[in-house]
Amino acid sequence: MAGPSWESFVSEALIGLAPRGTEASFYRTSAGAEIDLLLALPGGKLWAMEIKRSSAPKVERGFHIACDDLKPTNAGWFSRVMTVFRWMRIPK
């Protein structure tokens, strides 16, 4: 239960910090490709975010597959590491 609550909390915080006009969504396929939070920013940039509660996060294969599908401008994950939010960019 903690994982989904954490994901919702972080998603709401990030949406609240996004520029006006940003559209938020998620992406999931029946094959298992998944992105927790997609932010379509004004100007056309697309950010793909994986949200992990773990202090040693691992981005799953489904996230990489989803990024291949959508080709976001930026992709990375947020995790909680010793009470500090951390953004890690995923290399292309």
What is the CATH number for 25? 3.40.1350.10
When mean pLDDT is compared over 26-40, 48-62, 73-87, the highest value belongs to 26-40
Residue numbers of the domain that contains 43? 2-89
d(Cα 23, Cα 37) in Å, to the nearest integer? Answer: 10
Q: Does residue 55 register a pLDDT over 90?
A: no
> What is the pTM assigned to this prediction?
0.81
1 pLDDT exceeds 50? no
**Average pLDDT across the chain, whole number:** 85
Residue 80 one-letter amino acid? R
Q: How many domains does the chain have?
A: 1
Largest Cα separation within the chain, whole Å, is 36
